Structure 1
Amino acid sequence: MNGTPRLEFIKVLLSGSRFRIPSAFVGHVIDDNHGKAMIFLADKFWHIKVQKTEEGLFFTDGWEEMIKAHGLSEGCILSFCYEGNMVFTLKVFGHDACRINNFSINSEGFKNRNAYVEFNGIGEDSNRLGQIPSANNCDETNVASPSVPPAHSLSGIKSEDETSCTKNIIQYKKKIHRTNLVHGRIGVPLWVCASTGLKSSHDVTIRGPDRRLWTIFFSYSPQTPRLGKGWSEFCEHHKLEIGDLCIFTHVSKRDKLFDVQIKRASHERASTSYEDEV
């Protein structure tokens, strides 16, 4: 996923509660398979069980619910783009071979909580199906969110300019320094770790401005939590330079997903309010 060509496959949708992954494609994902996949469709993430049988590798539990929720019918053409780590982006084409962008959402399909993850970045349990503000619509002043403790109460150190548009949004900013590019890592504020459950080292997913998903290794320590392996590829792909500003918005605790918006240094006034990165 990071800097390498992404694999894709296309298949016609048939009726049924499971969907077979083409045999020729299985070899590309077999090492990543851990029994479940995430499918990103129309701004929603779905957790789908992956099951291997004598017949092949299948999407099973959650698959039928996803199809019904979007009103898809037999004969639609499905195009899967593999993002890595069992994450797929799904595009749908109708019987006329034209891509479907507007789906007739069927609320009945959302009743299976094991399949459904989020709607426009808000979990189903919140019972809120509206839009949330995007990163570039957020107030960029220092605002302490009622649900997010201020940085000094958790770490005792100065943090970057952090913002929360609503009590459901956790957002922070990082100015790119030379060390971030040379050493391929960037720090994560301790208050963000505490607020999002990042308390151990593992992979997280970040979604760039182009909506592409990237797997980045999060290394946790009580002093210097940071993003590491995979960050260099993200920087290279987006041509990040010293002084650019990355705005991280937490989207899903369960999926460990962050959206990242980028503001170029050429469009920003010089600022001295950011600390050097580790």
Structure 2
Amino acid sequence: MKKKKVATRFFKVMLPGYLNELPIPPKFARNLTVQNHRAATIRDPLGRSWPANVEGKGEDLWFCGEGWMNFVKGLDIGIGYFLVFKYKGNMKFYVKVFDLTACEVEYSHEICSYSKRFELSSTLNKQGEAKASKTAEKLIKQFCKSLGPHFSITLKFCNLRSRPYLNVPLGFLASYRFENKSKVILVDPKGRSSPVRITIRKRRPIIQCCFGMGWHEFCLRNHLSAGDKCIFEIKSEEADAYIVHVHIIRE
């Protein structure tokens, strides 16, 4: 009799919700050792190892937890990306990443985005949360001094859910009349432009202005999560829109 072959590879397409968890195909999950499957290691194309949790039971298993989220953000994986996992045993996985062009992503060690440039390092975290927070705030203040007109917001879950909103601070709104525009063009750290509709809510005696249609897609595209700080800098003005550069500082 022929010996039954055990699957060593599987692929997954990144669909909404992938940032929080990624289901492992049931047929493949049968190959995993049940006793020690709660801690996994994912090795990326640069050879870096990312610890991730694996939760579930039997054939119903999925990657999740902070480690999985760090892996997704670290490789800048977006919706529609195609990941191929190769299992090496002992809960160790190697991964290849393909983007929306259907080509494998070529990663480099260069740090080129604002989000990575100002992200707290693990060394900083080891110095203690209070000291790390103070150092981070100092870096952010120094960075903001070099910017033009801007406002900053630390994202909450209400800014990221399926029907999210983001209010423009009233003080900033008084100086820059967003309510006179139909949209803003948000430019992310990679230079990608996203049109976002401006929604006006008149609640006497104040006018409330928030980002509407297009904001959710911007959040997904940039893998934003609660606790991330976004700095919105006005770069230029058009007849119906402000051009706004968004600097992202991860939690």
Looking at secondary structure, tell me which structure has more helix per residue.
2
- Which entry has the higher C-alpha Rg, 1 or 2? 2
- TM norm. shorter chain > 0.5: no
Q: State the TM-score, normalized to the length of structure 2.
A: 0.39
